[in-house]
């Protein structure tokens, strides 16, 4: 019997190498003949992608930013995530609500309770089955970002901001050790690939 479709989220500081890991995850799912949809936040819908442009480039009050993240997320949940899961398709989202806790609360001091209120409003009944947290020291992630000329407003922030985000993610992972799987992104790419396959095997077998 086929297992229920899974909702997987990918998280981590900017520069943690998510894009390379997404290739491994796609290969794993294709090799196992699993139906899947890759999507991202902010974004994933036509409106969400318009909001992404604003969110990644315009300065705004952190609470406005939080509300816009959840506006994009509301569309994403109702148009894309829930309907696909209902159709038996595994959904993998490049970032989800943990990013709002890490960036807007950890990074920009929006109270966690406000984020929890919005989370309950938008997706009280939806939680990732697995969250892969790509982790690496801030000096390494920042040096990776520096080699990329095209930075968005989050990537341009100072080291202290990126440090707080890293710590927030690690705190979230401590609170839910079953859902979070931390992948050390500061190691050989072949080892990272093996670790990802190991974690996915545990979820899908």
Per-position x/- string for 26-55, each x denoting binding to ligand TMP as judged by CB under 6 A, each - no binding: --------------xxx-------------
- Applying CB under 6 A, among 69, 133, 136, 192 the residue interacting with ligand TMP is 69
Can you tell me which of 6, 7, 9, 14 binds ligand TMP, judged by CB under 6 A? 14
Element (H, E) at 53: helix 46-57
Cα-based angle 17, 18, 21 (whole degrees, multiple of 5): 95
Q: Which is nearer to ligand TMP, 3 or 116 (CB)?
A: 116
Binding status of residue 95 toward ligand TMP by CB under 6 A: yes
Nearer to ligand TMP, 34 or 49 (CB): 49
Please give the span between the terminal C-alpha atoms of the chain, in angstroms, as a whole number.
11
- Quick check: helix, strand or coil at residue 94? strand
Nearest CA to 94 among 172, 201, 179, 17? 17
CB 23 → ligand TMP: shortest distance, Å? 15
CA dihedral 47, 50, 52, 55 (to 10 degrees): -110
Contact residues for ligand TMP (CB under 6 A)? 14, 40-42, 56, 69, 94-95, 99-100, 103-104, 154
């Amino acid at each position: 019997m086929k297992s229920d479709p899974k909702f997987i989220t990918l998280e981590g500081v900017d520069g943690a190498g998510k894009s390379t890991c997404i290739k491994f995850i796609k290969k794993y799912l294709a090799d196992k003949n699993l139906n899947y949809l890759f999507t991202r936040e902010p974004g994933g819908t036509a409106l969400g992608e318009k909001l992404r442009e604003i969110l990644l480039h315009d300065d705004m009050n952190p609470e406005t930013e939080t509300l816009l993240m959840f506006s994009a997320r509301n569309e994403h949940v109702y148009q894309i995530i829930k309907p696909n899961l209902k159709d038996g398709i595994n959904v993998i989202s490049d970032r989800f609500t943990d990013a709002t806790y890490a960036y807007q609360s950890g990074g920009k001091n929006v109270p966690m309770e406000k984020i929890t209120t919005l989370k309950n409003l938008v997706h009280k009944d939806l939680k990732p089955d697995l969250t892969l947290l790509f982790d690496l020291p801030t000096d390494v992630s920042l040096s990776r970002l520096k080699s990329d000329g095209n930075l968005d407003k989050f990537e341009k922030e100072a080291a202290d901001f990126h440090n707080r985000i890293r710590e927030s993610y690690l705190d979230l992972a401590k609170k839910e050790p079953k859902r979070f799987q931390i992948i050390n992104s500061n190691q050989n790419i072949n080892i990272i690939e093996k670790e990802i396959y190991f974690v996915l095997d545990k979820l899908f077998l």
